[in-house]
C-alpha cells in the first residue's frame, strides 16, 4: 500500500496552476502537483527544465508569477523562507569551517532560541540518526566527504522540518560512496518520516531513492509515477528515452484483435505484434518502446515468438554483468538487445558480425502515441 496512491490521502504540498516567468521566459508552466506526507519525491529532467526553480519556490526563494502553493492546506506563497516548515540542503553543504560538528548541527536551533537542554537532546538525536556521535568534536575539515554530507543532513533535519529539499545532495561524492549513501538517505528519511524532495541529474539515484519520480521537460511535468511504473510503462517517447536504455521503433498500427495490434514498420517483411490497452486506430502513427533487456538474442530462430527478426551484430558493449548488442537488420534499423554474461567472456556465444535472431513477446514493449 502506498499512501500516494490513495485519493483519500491529503497532500502535504499542493501546487495549483503554478507558473514562474523570468521576463518573457517561462521556467515553470502551469504546473499542478501533489506531494504527500512521508514521500521521497524526485524531480528529474534535463538541464534547464525547471527543477531548481520548482524547489526554490517550495523553499520560498522564488515567488510564483501565477498560481498557489499550499503546505498542509496553508497558502505559503507570501511566507518567507525562515517562517516555512521547509528546509533546503545545498550541494555545497555550507558547513561552518570553524565550528565543530556538534555546533554546526546546533547552530540553527540556537538561533531559533531553543532552550539549551532541548538543543542538547536534539543534537544528540541527530548525531545518532546520522551515525556521527564519534565525530561531534571534530571540525568539518577533519572528517570525510561522506561524513560531511551526513552533517549537512543532520543540520537540515535538526529543526524537524515537514519538508526537506535536497539539491543534488550526493553530487560531491564518488560513485561508490554515492550508492552507499543513497541507502542511508532512504533509511534516514524513513526513520524521521520527513517528506523529501530531491533534485538529481542521476537517473539511477532517483530510481533508487524515490517513492515517486516526476519527469520534467520545459517547465512541465510529463509523468509522475513510482520508479517501476516510470520504467515499465512510460507515457511518452520522451520519458521512455530519458530513463534508461530503450529501442524506439516507429510504425503504424492496425487492430489485430482485442488489445492487440499489428505494426507496419521500416523492416517491411513482417509486421510486429504488440499488445496495448491504450486504443490505437488503423493507420495511426505509433512508437513501440522496448527495453533492450526484453529482447532475447539467439542463434536459432526461436519457436512461437510473437516477434522475431534477424540481423548482424554491429557493436558489443561489455559491462561486466551484462552486454548490450547492437544488431543491424537488413532495413538498416538497429535494435539493441541485452544479455546477462553468465559465462566467461572468452566463451561468449556471440561476437561481431555474427548473424543472430532477436525476439520479444507481444507484451514486452509499450505502444506510444507520442
Ligand atoms: P539544472 O539541472 O541545470 O540545474 P534546472 O532544471 O534546475 O537546471 P532551473 O535552474 O530551474 O533549471 O532553470 C530553468 C530555466 O529558468 C533555465 O532556462 C534558466 O536559465 C532560467 N532561470 C532560472 N533562474 C532564472 C533567473 N533568476 N532569471 C532568469 N532566468 C532564470
Average pLDDT over residues 54-78: 95
Reported as a single tens digit per residue, the pLDDT across 7-44 is 567 799 999 999 999 999 999 999 999 999 999 999 99
DSSP state of 34: E
Q: Which fold has domain 3-240?
A: Rossmann fold (3.40.50)
Statement: residue 2 has pLDDT above 60:
no
Domain-wise residue ranges, the chain:
3-240, 245-368
Domains 3-240 and 245-368 share a fold: no
Strands (DSSP E) along the chain, which ranges?
11-22, 25-36, 40-44, 66-71, 74-75, 86-89, 163-167, 195-199, 212-217, 220-225, 247-255, 260-265, 272-275, 285-290, 296-298, 307-318, 322-328, 334-340, 355-360, 366-368
Give yes or no for residue 96 CB within 6 A of ligand 1: no
Residue-level pLDDT at 1: 40
**What atom in ligand 1 is closest to the CA of residue 216?**
6
Nearest CA owner, ligand 1 atom 2: 47
Give yes or no for residue 273 CB within 6 A of ligand 1: no
Statement: residue 170 has pLDDT above 80:
yes
Mean pLDDT of the residues in the chain: 92
Under DSSP, is residue 368 helix (H, G, I), strand (E, B) or coil?
Answer: strand
Give yes or no for residue 24 CB within 6 A of ligand 1: no
219 CA distance to ligand 1 centroid (A)? 10
78 CA distance to ligand 1 centroid (A)? 21
170 CA distance to ligand 1 centroid (A)? 20
Residue-level pLDDT at 345: 63
For a pocket test of ligand 1, which of 29, 46, 52, 220 has the largest count of ligand atoms closer than 8 A to its C-beta?
Answer: 52
Q: How confident is the model at residue 5 (pLDDT cuts 50, 70, 90)?
A: low
Burial zone of 360 (CB within 10 Å; 0-12 exposed, 13-18 middle, 19+ buried): buried
Average pLDDT over residues 291-311: 94
Reported as a single tens digit per residue, the pLDDT across 310-339 is 999 999 998 888 999 999 999 999 999 999
Edge-first strand listing for the sheet containing 296-298 = 296-298, 355-360, 307-318, 322-328, 334-340
How many C-beta atoms lie closer than 10 Å to residue 46's C-beta? 13
Reported as a single tens digit per residue, the pLDDT across 72-101 is 999 999 999 989 999 998 877 789 999 999
Q: Which CATH class is domain 245-368?
A: mainly beta
Amino acid at each position: 500500500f502506498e499512501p500516494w496512491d490513495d485519493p483519500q490521502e491529503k497532500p502535504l504540498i499542493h501546487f495549483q496552476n503554478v507558473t514562474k516567468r523570468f521576463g518573457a521566459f517561462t521556467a515553470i508552466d502551469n504546473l499542478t502537483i501533489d506531494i504527500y506526507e512521508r514521500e521521497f519525491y524526485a524531480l528529474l529532467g534535463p538541464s534547464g527544465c525547471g527543477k531548481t526553480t520548482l524547489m526554490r519556490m517550495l523553499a520560498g526563494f522564488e515567488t510564483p508569477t501565477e498560481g498557489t502553493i499550499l503546505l498542509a492546506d496553508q497558502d505559503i506563497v507570501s511566507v518567507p523562507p525562515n517562517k516555512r516548515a521547509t528546509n533546503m540542503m545545498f550541494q555545497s553543504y555550507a558547513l561552518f569551517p570553524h565550528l565543530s560538528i556538534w555546533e554546526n548541527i546546533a547552530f540553527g536551533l540556537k538561533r531559533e532560541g531553543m532552550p539549551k537542554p532541548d538543543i542538547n537532546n536534539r543534537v544528540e538525536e541527530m548525531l545518532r540518526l546520522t551515525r556521527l556521535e564519534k565525530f561531534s568534536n571534530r571540525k568539518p575539515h577533519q572528517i570525510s566527504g561522506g561524513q560531511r554530507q551526513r552533517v549537512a543532513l543532520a543540520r537540515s533535519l535538526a529543526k524537524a522540518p515537514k519538508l526537506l529539499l535536497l539539491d543534488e545532495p550526493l553530487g560531491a561524492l564518488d560513485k561508490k560512496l554515492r550508492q552507499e549513501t543513497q541507502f542511508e538517505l532512504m533509511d534516514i528519511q524513513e526513520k524521521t518520516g520527513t517528506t523529501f524532495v530531491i533534485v538529481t541529474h542521476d537517473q539511477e539515484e532517483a530510481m533508487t531513492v524515490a517513492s515517486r519520480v516526476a519527469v520534467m521537460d520545459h517547465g512541465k511535468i510529463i509523468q509522475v509515477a513510482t520508479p517501476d511504473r516510470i520504467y515499465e510503462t512510460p507515457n511518452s517517447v520522451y520519458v521512455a528515452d530519458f530513463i534508461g536504455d530503450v529501442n524506439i521503433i516507429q510504425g503504424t498500427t492496425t487492430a489485430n484483435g482485442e488489445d492487440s495490434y499489428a505494426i507496419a514498420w521500416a523492416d517491411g517483411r513482417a509486421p510486429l505484434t504488440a499488445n496495448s490497452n491504450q486504443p490505437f486506430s488503423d493507420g495511426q502513427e505509433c512508437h513501440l518502446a522496448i527495453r533492450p533487456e526484453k529482447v532475447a538474442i539467439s542463434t536459432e530462430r526461436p519457436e512461437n515468438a510473437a516477434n522475431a527478426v534477424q540481423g548482424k551484430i554491429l557493436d558489443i558493449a561489455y559491462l561486466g554483468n551484462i552486454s548490450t548488442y547492437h544488431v543491424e537488420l537488413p532495413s538498416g534499423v538497429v535494435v539493441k538487445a541485452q544479455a546477462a554474461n553468465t559465462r566467461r567472456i572468452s566463451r561468449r556465444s556471440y561476437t561481431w558480425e555474427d548473424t543472430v535472431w532477436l525476439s520479444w513477446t507481444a507484451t514486452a514493449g509499450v505502444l506510444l502515441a507520442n
